[in-house]
Amino acid sequence: MSEIRVGPAGWSYPDWDGVVYPSPRPRGFDCLRHISRFFDLVEINSTFYRPVEPSTASSWVRRVSANPRFLFTAKLWQGFTHRPAKPHAAEERRFKEGLRPIAEAGRLACVLVQFPHSFRPSPETRAHLASLAERFGDTPLAVELRRADWASPETIAWLKEKKIAFCNLDQPMIGRGGGATIAPTAHVTAPHAYVRLHGRNRDAWFDEKAGRDDRYDYLYDPAEVEEWVGRIRSMAASAEQIHVIANNHFRGKAVVNALMIRAMLQGEAVDAPQGLAERYSSLAPFARAGEQGRLF
């Protein structure tokens, strides 16, 4: 049977205070430890902006030690995906060294190679993708390709050959033809599968004036979540592990939807941070009342 893990993208957001985290935070409160009490997966976003220091990664491992099932996924540094013309040899060494403590602890599920919408199929981009697969092939990889013209039989076959997970996306549907955003899929191209939910805030998705919070300000309703639960269950027939990440992080909405997914998959209510179901009423049917959820 497939092991399915669910969690949010990142855990360090000031706008989660008073929503996911207490406000003010008690002395010694640890956001990552808090998240690891409700989920068994989190995506590391900070590695997209800079390689992590090994000491920091070691600290993350210690802070989730109470949850033996807990795993990390990590986004590849953006220079490899958004500035591919340079070799970035020093950054490659730093990226690998930074994640080593997580990998050695058996806590690294995979590395996510996230490309922008402007990354379109061509001989050059396919060669670059093959180069990254070779350079980072010691770690399970997932690749996020956002344009519809990547969703071809040739791409899927190549990913299966390389055992790289195709990142199944939920994102605003924009554009036409090959340049449109990829519609929801349920591809399994490796022993591990990846799902990533960005939200559907269409108006802000490509708005240059919109901030990051605007783009990811979206709460999936239960019917929309249930559609993805169906896809996840279908993927479980052929994937050994499935990593499901909610990236609609604004005001803790990723946590709400990730908890919904967990509850639907398990067929029972789950623990939730105190007060979250009161703030987001759509979570209430999926959140278990009781002391286990009262963490502050």
- Residue 34 backbone phi and psi in degrees, to 5: -60, -50
3-state secondary structure of 264: helix
The mean pLDDT of 60-88, rounded to a whole number, is 94
- List Cβ neighbours of 127 (8 Å cut-off, separation of 6 or more): none
3-state secondary structure of 274: coil
Split at pLDDT 50, 70, 90, the class of 275 is: very high
C-alpha 240/C-alpha 4 separation (Å) is 9
Q: Helices marked H in 163-220 — which ranges?
A: 202-205, 212-215
* Tens digits of residue pLDDT in 242-268: 999 999 999 999 999 999 999 999 999
Spatial CA neighbour of 69 closest among 113, 118, 7: 7
Amino acid of residue 284: A
Distances (CA, A) of 272 to 14, 69, 78, 256, 292: 19, 18, 33, 8, 8
Query: Has residue 89 got a pLDDT over 70?
Result: yes
- List Cβ neighbours of 83 (8 Å cut-off, separation of 6 or more): none
Taken in order of first residue, the domains within the chain and their CATH numbers are 3-293 (3.20.20.410)
**Count of alpha carbons within 13 angstroms of residue 247, beta-carbon side:** 24
- pLDDT averaged over every residue in the chain: 94
Query: Has residue 215 got a pLDDT over 90?
Result: no
Report pLDDT for 295.
36
* Cβ atoms of residues 77 and 50 within 8 Å: yes
The mean pLDDT of 143-158, rounded to a whole number, is 96
Report pLDDT for 84.
78
Report pLDDT for 289.
67
C-alpha 224/C-alpha 1 separation (Å) is 25
* Tens digits of residue pLDDT in 159-211: 999 999 999 999 999 888 888 999 999 999 999 999 999 999 988 888 777 77
Spatial CA neighbour of 182 closest among 163, 164, 195: 195
Report pLDDT for 293.
44
